[in-house]
Amino acid sequence: MTTSRFALPDVGEGLTEAEIVSWKVAPGDQVGVDQVIVEIETAKSLVELPSPYAGTVDALLVAEGDTVAVGTDIIAVASGTPEQLAAPLRTPAQAAAPNEVQVREPEEQTEERSGAVLVGYGVDARAKSRRSQRTASHGSQVPPKEAVAAPVKPPIRKLAKDLGVDLARVAPSGPSGEVTRDDVLRAKQQVSVFRNVETPEWPEDREERIPVKGVRKATAAAMVRSAFTAPHVSVFVDVDATRTMEYVRRLKASPDFANVKISPLLVMAKAVIWAVQRNPTVNSTWTDSEIVVHHYVNLGIAAATPRGLIVPNVKDAQSLSMRALAGSLEQLTITARDGRSTPADMADGTITITNLGSFGVDTGTPILNPGEVSIVALGTIRQKPWVVDGQVVPRYVTTVAASFDHRVVDGDVASRFVADLASVVEEPALLLD
C-alpha cells in the first residue's frame, strides 16, 4: 500500500488560495479516479475538485472553512497495487455479499441557508443536502434511494407548502423522475423574491463577525475600484409597461414557450440588445490607451448570493432568439442559485442588467461591473395612475435607470440608449423583425 497526497491545484484562474467549503468524502471512504471529493470556493466561484487517485481516504488534511494556499496538501489517499486498483472498488460488506448493493445513506445538512438569488428570478428556499455515495457491486452508480422511496425531498415539500403549490399537480423534471425546486417555482409562476415566511428571533449573541473572504472579498475590491475609478453618471425614465406585461402573458400562454421561464426581465434583456445595436459605445471597455467597442453582447445578470454579488453572463446574446435567450437566462438562474457559476460564466461580460424590481424597489443608481461602461436597472412594475389622452387611468408603470462610465458614454448617447430601452418596454413589438 502506498499513500498519495493531493495538493490544492490552481483551477485555471491564476488564484493563489481557496477555501475548503465542504468535503464530499470522509476517512475510510473508497474513492475512484475523477470522483468529486471536495468543494472549494475561490475568489470567483464554487468549484468541485475530482480525485486524481483511486483508493481509500486516509486523512483529510484541511478542515472545512479553512483557507489554504495553492499547492497545499489537502487529502491523503491510500492505494494498493496496480492490480488492486484495476479491480472494482468494494467495501467489506460487498465482499461478504457480492450480489447485494451497498448503499451509504446521505448526510443531510442540518444547517439551513438561503440559496443564491438571481435578481429577477427569486430565491432558493433551502440549500441542497450533501451528496451521498452509492456504489454498486460492480462499481457502477445506482439510482438515488430518495428517487424510489420519496420522489420529493423535505426541502422541496416545505417550499411547495410555503408557496401554496399542490405537489400532485407539479410535473417532475428531475433525472430520476423526482420533483425539483424549479418545478415548484414554475408551478407558482412568480418572479418576485420569496419573502421569509417567519421572522427569526433576535440571536443571543449581541454581534456576529463574518470573515471577508472568497467571492465577497473579491467583489468588495472590484466595487470600490469601479466606484472610485470610473466617473459614474446615471439616467432615469418612468415608463408605461402595460404592453410589456401583456406581451409576457402572451408568451407564457404560447406553446412555443412551454417549459421556459418568462418574465419582464426577458423583455428588458432583448431591449438592451436592441438598444446596444443602435448605440454601440455603451457596450465598450475603457483602457488607458483606447476604447474597445464590442460588436457582440455578453449580457450579464446581477446575482446576489450569500457569498457576495456575482454577474454571470449569457455569451453572444445578440445571436439568440427570444426562446433561446429565455432558456439561457433560466439556466444561468439555476446555476447561480446553486452556487455553480464558473469563472468562465462570469468572464468577458460587456453590459449588465440588475433587476431591482424583484425586491419591490422602484429604482437605484447601480455601480458598473468592472470592465464595463454601462449597467441597466429595472425597477418594480406596478399599477399606478397614468395620464393617457388627457385621462388618468391605471397602468403598469416602471422606472428604467442606467449608469455609465462618463469617460466613454456622453450624455447624449446615454439618454438615447435609455430612451430606446423605454421605447421597447412601452411597445415590445419594436423587437419584432
Residues 423 and 298 placed together within one structural domain of the fold: yes
Give the sign of the dihedral formed by CA 363, CA 365, CA 367, CA 369: positive
Residues 85 and 124 placed together within one structural domain of the fold: no
Residues 228 and 287 placed together within one structural domain of the fold: yes
What per-residue confidence (pLDDT) applies to 213?
A: 81
CATH of the domain at 339: 3.30.559.10
Residue position matching grid coordinates 448617447: 413
**C-alpha distances out from residue 16 to 72, 92, 371, Å:** 11, 40, 22
What per-residue confidence (pLDDT) applies to 3?
A: 87
Inside any domain, residue 28: yes
Outline where DSSP puts E strands in 128-220: 134-135
- Tell me if 75 sits within 8 A of 61, measured CB to CB: yes
Q: Give, as one character, the DSSP assignment of residue 371.
A: T
Residues 313 and 350 placed together within one structural domain of the fold: yes
- Tell me if 367 sits within 8 A of 358, measured CB to CB: no
Range of the domain at 369: 216-431
What per-residue confidence (pLDDT) applies to 149?
A: 33
What per-residue confidence (pLDDT) applies to 318?
A: 97
What per-residue confidence (pLDDT) applies to 13?
A: 55
Inside any domain, residue 105: no
Q: What radius of gyration, in Å, describes the C-alpha atoms of the chain? A: 25
What per-residue confidence (pLDDT) applies to 146?
A: 37
Q: How many domains does the chain have?
A: 3
3-state secondary structure 96-148: HCCCCCEECCCCCCCCCCCCCEECCCEECCCCCCCCCCEECCCCCCCCCHHHH
Give the pLDDT means over successive 10-residue stretches in the chain (433 positions).
Answer: 86 74 92 90 78 91 89 87 41 36 36 42 38 38 37 74 78 80 68 49 86 80 88 95 95 90 94 96 94 96 79 96 94 82 89 89 91 95 94 96 96 96 95 72
Instruction: Please give the positions annotated as active site.
Output: 406
